[in-house]
Structure 1
Amino acid sequence: MDDTYYTIGMAGHIDHGKTTLTKALTDVDTDRLKEEKERNISIEAGYAPLHTEDGTHVSIVDVPGHERFIRQMIAGVAGIDLVVLVVAADEGVMPQTKEHLEILQFLGIKRCIVAITKIDRVDEELQELVGSDIKEALTGTIFSDAEMVFVDGVSGKGVEELRLTIFSALKQVEFRDRFGSFRLPIDQVFTVQGQGTIARGTIYEGVVRQGTPLTILPAGKIVRARNIQVHHKDVQEARAGQRTAINVTGVDREEINRGDVLVASNHFLVSKTIDVAMRLVDGMRHPIKQRAPVKLHIGTSEVMGKIVFFDRNEAQKSPDEILCQLRLDEEVVVRRGDRFIIRRPTPVETIGGGWVIDPKGEKYRFGAKTIKMLEQKKEGTPEDLISTVLHEHTLLNEQQIIQFTSLDKSVVLEALNRGIQAERFIRTGKNFVLTNTFDKGKESLVEFLESYQQQNPMRPGINKAELRQHFRDTFPKPFIDFVITEMVEQKMVKQQEQYLATADFHQHLPPRWKARLEEIIEQLKADGLQIRKWEEYFVGSPLPEEMGGEFKNYLLQTGQAYALTEEMLIDRQVFLDAVEKLRRHTDETFGLQDVKEVWNISRKYMIPLLELLDQWEWTIREDGSRRWLPSGK
């Protein structure tokens, strides 16, 4: 077990002997503050190393027991693996003992040892009575089978038995994830002369190494781990479960606060809206009403906010789990599965606790539909969780999926691979999308293209930018681009320059106006080289006014006509016949007079026609005349 690290919490009512017992086990006095010494109570959580023969690394957290210091108590137990519930034999179970029990259960602490202290003060009969009271208090809790040890921290009776009981229990504790992304919720910040800022806490997951770049969340401040200590000893690295102090560079003491989190990756989200599964305490004195102010304790953070229910207007005493949402006044760093406690600010009492379903909640409607959605989030497999966030955000990269699901990177990668093989997810470069969402995107694009083409049959399709604009509120731009690319590759959609259309579409005249428009084409041909302004062809016509521009573009895009000027078009075949006639009746080089004799038109038409010849590279101007080129465009 030489590569494992655990943190044990000493919890219980004030003056029941937690600090004395900790000192008996570790030979360390955890009352470090002057005020604690004077008042003989623990105000801040104290820490001490518990040395073992088999190499297991254990830290003991002596958490405050007084009601006024419940905030520090919650922060102190937030990272522990095993709790030693301390109950004095001469007082038995006290109100604070019961509150600590509820908090420990809400925080997901699964293993407990009961240490009945101060046994030298009472006889064996009273010890047995206290033991019975404790068993009754633990009945119905997850600690109902907790082992009891009778001990006296002053005389040392039972201390060795407690030590062995702790070691035995730790072998059954699931070890924290040292392979996850490093995360350390900060519970103490201070400065050391000559070293600078020190941030201390218990590592929730992952490993930190000397020199590692770190980020302080939620502020996003980049720092570096210059030096690392575990119980006052310099180490090269610290791992999940260890009580650790990190000397961070690049930041002043005032820029770090208790409740901030040190991380070594961008896998973590900061959020002010979290979806949660919560249970209420048994002894709650007053119901909690919809949108009531609450104080959230999560990790080492303490944040005000309000509670939002979706299936009730107030919550009474109930053994059932409540799916609801916490909307906070400040950002916190959370991942799915993180445990929390909520307290009522006034009158002050613990309301309940639970775990985070979704660290990035949205605003939902009140009703059964939202509750069903939250239930699905709660029960989901890694693939289900990824599906949920992809459904909400459409297109995400690996990094974003890790953030939104709060799953470890290795779990996400395995789930993504399984989902891709099962055709549940699609990889799009560095991004991922639900197969269903992709299919929906394809259907939506085809449906819109077909509708657009029906309304605008003379256009070559829709401009790509216009298509993106139409779907901007439905799908993100990268997703639209991906769907378009895939559909073009699959030949479901064709692209002509910036225009997109379904594969079977061809520009055509609208059936309703086809006869009228064909008449204009015939008129244009009949006018030959002496064409009228485009608008004159529509005088007296029943065609809609906007039809003129559409029809003009249609003729140009389909190559049925050429633009002579901005106001005039010439029929393609008329123009080609005129060019052929001019070529037959002129030499390699020719002038304006030669053109006039062949075409018999005024300068009004002649100059634009010759410029069109130049544009199509059939001719080139040279010293006031023109020369035929070998071939045009």
Structure 2
Amino acid sequence: MTHLIIGTAGHVDHGKTMLVKALTGVDTDRLKEEKERGISIELGFASLTLPSGLQAGIVDVPGHERFIKNMLAGVGGIDLVLLVIAADEGVMPQTKEHMDIIQLLQIPRGVVVITKVDLVDREWLDLVREEIRDFLKGTTLEDAPMVEVSSITGRGLDELLRAIDLVAQKVKEKPATGHVRLPVDRVFSVTGFGTVVTGTLWSGVLHTGDALEIMPRRIASRARMLQVHGQKVEKARAGQRVAINLTGVEVEAVPRGSVVATPGILTPSYRMDVRLILLESARPLKNRARVRMHLGTAEIMCRVILLDREELVPGDTAPAQLELEEPAVALQGDRFVIRSYSPVRTIGGGKIIDPVAPKHRRMRTEVIEKLLTREKGTPEEILLQQLNSQQNILTAEELARASGLDEQVVIETMQNLAKKNLIRTIFLENQVSYLPEEVYQQWAEKIRSVVQEYHREFPLREGFPREEMRSRFFARMNNKHFQALLQVMEEDNLVKLHAQEIALPEFTPQPERKLEQKIRYLLEIYKEANYQPPAWIEATRQAGLDGPMAQEILQYLLKKGLLVRVADDLYFHAECLDKARQELINYLREKEEITVGETRDLLQTSRKYALPLLEYFDREKTTKRVGDKRVLTKMEKQKIRL
């Protein structure tokens, strides 16, 4: 353990702030009102060096019931709690509520500090210790060390430091890997620097200059400067109290409850699926009850949607969905606390199952089963469910964000699933994406079915337009992913791809026998017409073809290269056009230049056809125009030499 955050908890006026001052020398009551009233209203912060040399940050939280929402803003990121109970009063209402919060947030380590021992005798102190032990039975602090101290005389302070140091060695360090997340618990402005936010870094490593995103408002910013324990640093890591000087952001844009994070990792949501626990001390909770949700440092009003019952009884737990009145951000596994709307008191909490949840229909077995899989399933089960529910191609990063799993765990799990042929791996621009095998087969069947029907309806076309296929049937998928999917299907010989179309591998555009006869007749018309071809509508009328079919045949003949478009509504038989080109080249080899009139005479046609032909050969780089004449291009001359 290299970084530790210690939080205080306990009833008002039980000596939390005095204890912090005795340990650190810092008076965390920084507001004028706090000085005047003798209680903590806002969060206070101090640093402490333990006997082992470990540097810890202390978050001093208010104890008064009116300020418990401020307490909740500070307790979310702590590693170790100091539960402070005054010897002269023992366990009090806010002691119980703070302990409920510690339980709900699953803070596993702590030290029980009995303060003000200078005010009572030994006999009374023994009774208080016994009361505390009974109170803590069955809680995360049941076996926590208990130390008697007096902040006035200094009694027990050294013993307390040793006890904290010993417990700190057992605290699991926050992950320095992964993305940056820092819930904001304070925000203020410093002259000459601008907006500064503070909070506990929940995960990742933050460097000076890093790009950041302030959620849920999606405000882009950057870390101009960092401080840890009042010292300027170039980087901060998970588990540290950090002050961040943000660029380009006003104080009003970053209220407490905001989350400073790596860009793109969090998604604001108005719905979150949760595992909800109702405290035994609470009243029954009805469906759609309005409550206060405390998530990280945020307080959000929301409605509790019970998914499998009409009422949650005290001491019970249930899957639920929280409908938030304003957007919030979280990751799977984050813990939260709920307090009743009025009177305001802690009634329960739980953990996030899906931080960006769709709206569910209540009393549905399949909904509950999906939530249970996401909550308790193996990584394989969770990721397969996520892929199937998304019905899209997803990267490891996207899956990690959606499932709440670590990205490396996602990559390893995907490799195992690929070996079992349960997923398809799709490569795109040096990035790996994934798709369930079952979904892949369903999509392939859908595409083949659509293309097959298209082939029957339009036997002369090369295939179904790619973009139309995507926009009609795969609109949620971006074009790059769709093209990559088609490439995989072509490799599996399920489809054949043309430049803009999708076909079946066994398909070749060809007309039916009766239509083929008409096409041969049509081509013969153009061939016999030589350098004076008829208009398309006249030729199709002669061949007995109607408008829509005539257009189909035209596109077919142009694709096959049997007819060539020379100008608008002017088509030449390919053999005639090749013959005209050769006659023109032969003429220019000898004469070097040719006019429109000379072309007309050479090909025994009219100016109506001679000029479009020359313009076509100009575009094809056979000839080029010089004044009113044409000459061979350099490229064509080189071909002649060769």
Query: Is this contact kept in 2: 1:81–1:111, CA < 8 A?
Result: yes
Counterparts of 1:112-261 in structure 2, within 5 Å, are: 112-193=110-191, 195-219=193-217, 220-230=219-229, 232-261=230-259
Structure 1: which 5+ residue stretches go unaligned?
Answer: none
Query: Offset of 1:322 from its aligned partner?
Result: 2.4
Residue 486 of structure 2 corresponds to which residue in structure 1?
A: 484
Q: Deviations over 1:326-371 (max 9, x none)?
A: 3333333322222211223334232321222233222333322222
Segments of 5+ residues of structure 2 without an aligned counterpart are none
**Matched letter for residue 71 of structure 1:** K
Give the conservation status (yes or no) of the 8 Å contact 1:275–1:356.
yes
**Quick check: 1:613–1:619 contact (8 Å CA) kept in 2?**
yes
Q: Tell me the CA shift for residue 459 of structure 1.
A: 0.9
Percent identity at matched positions?
Answer: 38
Q: Secondary structure at the match of 2:132?
A: helix
1:546 counterpart SS class: helix
> For the structure 1 residues 531 and 404, does the alpha-carbon distance in structure 2 shift closer, same or farther, using more than 3 Å as the test?
same
Partner of 1:306: 303
1:394·1:433 contact (CA, 8 Å) conserved in 2? no
Asked if 2 retains the 8 angstrom alpha-carbon contact of 1:426 and 1:433, the reply is yes
CA-to-aligned-CA distance 1:91-123 (integer Å, 9 cap, x gap): 332222222122111212112332233334444
* CA 1:297–1:549: 2 relative to 1, 3 Å: same
Q: Distance in 2 between matches of 1:216 and 1:24?
A: 36
Distance in 1, Cα, partners of 2:73 & 2:617: 84
Do the aligned partners of 1:209 and 1:237 also contact (CA within 8 Å) in 2? yes
**CA deviations over 1:606-629 (Å, ceiling 9, x no partner):** 999999999999999999999999
- The match for 1:375 among 372, 378, 400 is 372
Q: Partners in 2 of 1:202 and 1:226 — Cα distance? A: 16
**1:46 and 2:44 matched:** yes
Q: Deviations over 1:279-305 (max 9, x none)?
A: 122222352322x43322111122233
CA–CA distance in 1 between the matches of 2:341 and 2:66?
13
How far did 1:19 drift?
Answer: 2.1
> Relative to structure 1, is the Cα distance of residues 554 and 10 closer, same or farther in structure 2, using a 3 angstrom cutoff?
same
Q: 1:77 aligns to what?
A: 75
Out of 460, 471, 486, the position equivalent to 2:462 is 460
C-alpha distance in structure 2 between counterparts of 1:403 and 1:207, whole Å: 18
- Aligned position for 1:107: 105
Distance (whole Å) between structure 1 residues aligned to residue 31 and residue 623 of structure 2: 97
- The one-letter amino acid paired with 1:83 is V
Distance in structure 2 (CA, Å) of the matches to 1:577 and 1:159 = 106
Instruction: Output the CA distance in 2 between the equivalents of 1:50 and 1:402.
Output: 36
> What residue identity is the alignment partner of 1:158?
G
TM-score, with structure 2 as normaliser = 0.82
Q: 1:168 & 1:579 partners in 2: Cα distance?
A: 94
CA contact (8 A) 1:390 1:433 kept: no
C-alpha distance 89-518 of structure 1, shift in aligned 2 (>3 A): same
Decide whether the 8 Å contact of 1:343 with 1:352 is kept in 2.
yes
* 2-structure distance, mates of 1:37, 1:204: 31
Shift of 1:137: 3.0
Maintained 8 Å contact 2:564/2:574? yes
Query: Higher mean Cα deviation, 548-557 or 620-629?
Result: 620-629
Structure 2 counterpart of 1:176, one-letter code: K
Looking at structure 2, the residues matched to 486 and 539 of structure 1 have their Cα atoms a distance apart, in angstroms, of 45
Measured in 1, the distance between the counterparts of 2:534 and 2:119 equals 117
What is the alpha-carbon distance in structure 1 between the residues aligned to residue 155 and residue 404 of structure 2? 45
State the Cα deviation string for residues 422-471 of structure 1 (Å, max 9, x = none). 65444433443334244444333333222221221111212333233233
| CA distances 1:255-313 after superposition (whole Å, capped 9, x unpaired) | 432222333554344433333222122222352322x433221111222333333333x
Is the 1:524–1:531 Cα contact (8 Å) retained in structure 2?
Answer: no
Alignment coverage as a number of residue pairs: 623
Distance 1:315 1:608, change over 3 A: same
Deviates more, 1:519-528 or 1:621-630: 621-630
Would you say 1:330 and 2:329 are equivalent positions? no
Distance 2:260 2:369 in 1: 35
How far off is 1:73 after superposition?
Answer: 0.7
Q: Distance in 1 between matches of 2:248 and 2:610?
A: 76
Of 329, 338, 350, the match for 2:346: 350
Q: Is the 8 A contact 1:217 1:261 kept in 2?
A: yes
1:596–1:602 Cα contact (<8 Å) kept: yes
Evaluate the alpha carbon distance shift between residue 328 and residue 430 of structure 1 in structure 2; reply closer, same or farther with a 3 A threshold. Answer: farther
- How far the C-alpha of 1:517 sits from its partner, in A, is 5.5
Q: Distance in 2 between matches of 1:307 and 1:614?
A: 74
Q: Do the aligned partners of 1:266 and 1:399 also contact (CA within 8 Å) in 2?
A: no
Is the contact made by 2:211 and 2:220 (CA closer than 8 Å) also made in structure 1? no
* Contact 2:221 2:247 (C-alpha < 8 Å) held by counterparts: no
Q: 1:540 to 1:319 in 2, by over 3 A?
A: farther
Equivalent residues of 1:377, 1:385 under 8 A apart: yes
Shift in Å, 1:600: 10
**8 Å CA contact 1:176, 1:205 repeated in 2:** yes
Worse-superposed segment, 401-410 or 235-244:
401-410
Question: Does the 8 Å CA contact 1:306/1:327 hold for their aligned counterparts?
Answer: yes
The answer to whether 1:471 aligns with 2:454 is no
CA–CA distance in structure 1, aligned partners of residues 537 and 215 of structure 2? 66
Q: Which residue does 1:428 correspond to in 2?
A: 428
Counterpart residue number, 2:502: 500
The 3 A distance-change label for structure 1 pair 563 and 190 is closer
Task: Return closer, same or farther for 1:545/1:611 CA change in 2, 3 Å cut-off.
Answer: same
Tell me the C-alpha RMSD between the 2 structures: 4.3
Superposition deviation, residue 387 in structure 1: 4.3
**Corresponding letter in the other structure for 1:464:** R
Distance in 1 separating the partners of 2:384 and 2:443: 16
Compute the TM-score of the two structures, normalised by the length of structure 1: 0.83
Mapped partners of 1:568, 1:576: distance in 2: 16
Corresponding residue SS for 2:329: strand
Q: Is the CA contact (8 Å cut-off) linking 2:394 and 2:434 kept in structure 1?
A: no
Give the aligned residue type for 2:332. R
Q: Which moved more, 1:478-487 or 1:216-225?
A: 216-225
Task: Return the letter of the residue paired with 2:279.
Answer: V
* 1:201 partner letter: G
Q: What letter is aligned with 1:306?
A: R
Q: Is the contact made by 1:288 and 1:315 (CA closer than 8 Å) also made in structure 2?
A: yes
Query: Residue 287 of structure 2 aligns to which amino acid in structure 1?
Result: K
Distance in 2, Cα, partners of 1:245 & 1:258: 14
Q: CA deviation at 1:80?
A: 0.7
1:333 and 1:616 map into 2 onto residues whose CA distance is 60
Report the secondary structure of 2:52's partner residue. Answer: coil
Alpha-carbon contact 1:211-1:227 (below 8 Å) kept: no
CA separation in 1, counterparts of 2:293 and 2:554? 67
- Counterpart among 83, 95, 98 of residue 96 in structure 2: 98
